Chain A
Amino acid sequence: MTKVMYASITKKIVMSLMGLFLITFLVVHLSLNLLILFDKSLLKFNQAAHFMATNPVIQLFQWVLFLGFVIHIILGVVLQIQNWMARPIRYERKGSSELSYFSKFMIHTGAIVLIFLVIHFANFFIKAKTGHIDEITYDQGTYENMGQLVVTLFKDGWYVAFYVVALLLLGFHLEHGFQSAFQSLGLNHTKYTPVIKAFGTVFTIVLTLGFIAIPLVIYFS
């Protein structure tokens, strides 16, 4: 029997590539979500949702995305278990030498985001795929009214609170993850690394605020 062993660095490189890939997905997701705020009739959002649900390239890519999630999550858990095993006896006095603060909580923020992902999936994706969505007719045609589904959910205070908390934790995850991915890929440079770190922080804040703004605007309007 040959035991398949991947080196720690191989795992980290794959982890970082998947992480960066998932970040591009978040950018696409946020751009589509923002449509809901700029069109009261929800036409643009529903058209975009329809496009994402029917375009064959997107349909194919959806599976690549699934794979990206699965690899990132499985590797994250495997790496974490190995890391816990590497120190069987803990320190009495906890250390606090980390220079990247949120690096300490990647498994915790990741786990909550995963729970969010499952609930999010049940709320939108599965409903859309199994056809439990009302239709709405515009002059431009008839679409599944995904926008109304979103608005209804975002009128529920508890859901909005959960959504905001989960997205904040995603922000913490990205704050470390973004710059960490470049380091894992070996991209460390005296001139560009500070730029990557600064860009990562600004990008994370903009992305997180963008996601959080949507439920808050809908809830309070």
Chain B
Amino acid sequence: MDLTLKIWRQASANDKGRFVSYKVNNVSADSSFLEMLDVLNEDLVIKGEDPVAFDHDCREGICGACSLYINGRPHGPDRGITTCQMHMRHFKDGETITIEPWRAKPFPVIKDLMVDRSAFDKIIQAGGFISVRTGGVPDANAIPIPKRDADLAMDAAACIGCGACVAACKNASAMLFVAAKVSQFALLPQGRVEAKERVQKMVAKMDELGFGNCTNTYACEAECPKEISVANIARMNREFLVAKVAAPKDK
């Protein structure tokens, strides 16, 4: 298949940036989206032009490094997958594909399609961990946890921190990411110890970094490659409300 790619090019964080169109010919329908971009970049290198910068790492859909806002959708036109797992058979011959970086104030563009997602790390640093001394590895089943809670915690922990929720949200809100991280701890006894502080600190950091507010559009759930449920956002709202109303204040 022959395609026209309309790609956002931006030399550096301070560059203004613009769209540049490229032609790629003889793309295999079986190649992945990133492989298609690799082919484009090889051509650009041969021509002596600057290749398109984009994030990628494992290419197995589990690391969360790849991004790309493709034709108005994070990770392209399919549900429940990352860009590296999306294949070119989802596109038509002769199609023009628009590729943009994640757009959010806390995710500044570094170069071309790469954005700085360290805002997510800062949210994790604010409370997305357990600081209690857990000692050695406990025996299996030493702490009884209902299957349902274990499953829900695992579903929340499936978040790979790719930022598609922020990219998809019309408000550039990070609520699904933060909710997944809050939930994976809130559902388990080890996480309950610091639950009230955690939710307040992580939400405060999220607000401080300039992410938007949640308006329950549920675009995040629709675009999440790990299909994390907005029920986690409701859980975080609950956790937050309880923490604000019931948590003892620091002296």
Contact = CB atoms under 8 A, between A and B. Distances in A.
Task: Give the interface size class of chain A.
Answer: 35 or more
Interface string B202-225: 011011001111111111011100
A207 to B, nearest CB: 20
A216 to B, nearest CB: 32
Contact of A180 (B100, B106, B215, B239): B215
Nearest to A186: B238
Interface string A67-83: 00000000000010011
**Most chain B CB neighbours (cut-off 10 Å) among A7, A82, A95, A176:** A95
B56 interface: no
Nearest to B231: A188
Nearest to A86: B212
B172 A83 contact: yes
A183 B216 contact: yes
Interface stretch (A10-18, A33-41, A114-122, A144-152): A10-18
B59 interface: no
Contacts of A83: 170-173, 212-213, 215
A83 B238 CA distance: 22
A7 B204 contact: yes
A192 to B, nearest CB: 11
- Chain B contact-residue range equals 35 or more
Contact of B173 (A86, A92, A95, A183): A86
A23 B248 CA distance: 34
Interface stretch (B36-44, B66-74, B127-135): B66-74
A165 B171 CA distance: 27
Contacts of B237: 9, 12-13, 183-186
B39 to A, nearest CB: 22
Nearest to B109: A89
Interface in B161-200: 168, 170-173, 175, 200
Given A91-B72, A93-B98, A188-B230, A103 B217 contact: yes
Interface of B: 6, 8, 19, 69, 71-73, 98, 100, 103-106, 168, 170-173, 175, 200, 203-204, 206-207, 210-219, 221-223, 230-231, 233-241, 244
27 contacts: A8-B207, A8-B213, A8-B214, A9-B240, A10-B244, A11-B213, A12-B213, A12-B237, A83-B170, A83-B212, A83-B213, A83-B215, A85-B210, A86-B172, A86-B211, A87-B171, A87-B212, A88-B105, A90-B103, A92-B19, A93-B71, A94-B72, A95-B73, A97-B222, A104-B217, A186-B234, A188-B233
